[in-house]
Structure 1
């Protein structure tokens, strides 16, 4: 694991409520193909559902994907514990029922035909993943679908995070444990190939810093240095034709709950 030196500035801990987090998040969204690629795949999943009554978005964030999905459903329920994100969520999804509790305290009032748990497990201890996803599955209606999305452990983005922080996330073992515990449901694990691109090194480093924040950086002592992160970006993500590209392949676990009509 790469660590900082005493005379180097450490990478920043980006608080989701801060203006700097929002700036870098918007920078990431402006340069990635994530939304068009993932939304296209999500649209296919929605089209295959037997019913489209209730959407449950768990950890809905700023509501961009919630709004995209919600237009296909009669009702939307969103769980988002961050007050800063809920403000944007309400603007994006004014008709949604928004629950402010964390996932372990939330109580959605009805089961969903699609439950969406995207990029949330980073903030859940791995020992609690099975319990968290099992709860989400319980909130999914018979015949409905649960989607769990996370970085692929071998993506360039995740390899960078592992290099600097030691963290590594992998949906594969979770899928196996779910299948063992609940063999009656249907399971599929697929990958979506995504890339962030920018012509500017400073922006690439800012986004790389945002990406390594999937780890609890505040708990690292010392934190990785920004100098080392810059060198890593130049070595691994520079393009021969100019600019930078950071692959951030995602895994999507689909669980089709048994039952229904």
Structure 2
């Protein structure tokens, strides 16, 4: 299974489970309606939270009343999730090797995760566990680059990404079309992540897989670059509480048959 997990995720996420919890934004309130209307989640349904991490999206799935199965390959992340959601079945697994029977679930949700394993093999395995007419849902929280200082923050981060898969490159879209699924249906929601700069900016960047995997000296230089950016931006300078703007992108594809 280790070979199925990208080296940035394997090395980075095991270091920053606590930082991930503090630094990652929640999801907008409109997501609750989306889970109901678009995915049909309710108490008689079963949903996989695939690449569940520490459970940032798991809470949203639990709130639907559906039976939730969290699948996550990084033990340190899975431990955090299990502690936060003792009622959720949390299992070690990957998108290429789901520990579930054929046609056993109604929905598979990949929140902030599909770019890690986007490909025909993963989609075939996801289709295997979905019932006919079941749904695959993809969700990403993305910093809103329409706010002037956000592209500057992104530039600091993106310069260090190496070969790490990312949503913004669009490479994940190459997995589609896939014979098991219909077309993707896309929706977007706006929201903000409000808190101290330490959490919503520094810890968010620190929780990025390839940043967390860097040597301590390089991570320190990233912090210095962010401090300089904050000092140069009137909307950030001297603020104890700031809001990072986000766009939440959602996609749904229905299993054929």
Does the alignment reach a TM-score above 0.5? yes
- The alpha carbon displacement at 1:208 in A equals 4.5
- Which of the numbers 50, 67, 75 marks the counterpart of 1:75? 67
Unaligned runs of 5+ in 2: 1-10
Per the alignment, residue 252 of structure 1 pairs with: 250
How many residue pairs match? The answer is 234
Structure 2 CA distance for aligned equivalents of residues 241 and 222 of structure 1? 26
3-state SS, counterpart of residue 249 of structure 1: strand
3-state SS, counterpart of residue 210 of structure 2: coil
Matches within 5 A, 1:85-234: 85-109=77-101, 110-121=103-114, 123-124=116-117, 129-152=119-142, 155=145, 156=150, 158-165=154-161, 168-170=166-168, 172=170, 174-175=172-173, 177-179=175-177, 181-182=178-179, 185-198=182-195, 200-203=196-199, 205-210=201-206, 213-215=208-210, 218=213, 223=218, 225=221, 226-234=223-231
- The alpha carbon displacement at 1:100 in A equals 1.2
Q: 2:58 aligned with 1:66, yes or no?
A: yes
Per the alignment, residue 20 of structure 2 pairs with: 25
TM-score normalised by structure 1 residue count = 0.68
Structure 1 CA distance for aligned equivalents of residues 81 and 167 of structure 2? 27
Matches within 5 A, 1:39-50: 40-49=30-39
Matches within 5 A, 1:1-12: none
Structure 2 CA distance for aligned equivalents of residues 228 and 241 of structure 1? 16
- The alpha carbon displacement at 1:116 in A equals 0.7
TM-score normalised by structure 2 residue count = 0.69
CA shift digits 1:94-121 (9 cap, x unpaired): 3433321233333323532111111124
Structure 2 CA distance for aligned equivalents of residues 218 and 15 of structure 1? 4
For the aligned residue pairs, the C-alpha RMSD in angstroms reads 3.8
Structure 2 CA distance for aligned equivalents of residues 77 and 46 of structure 1? 18
Contact 1:150/1:252 (CA < 8 Å) preserved in 2? yes
Unaligned runs of 5+ in 1: 1-13
Q: 1:74 to 1:41 in 2, by over 3 A?
A: closer
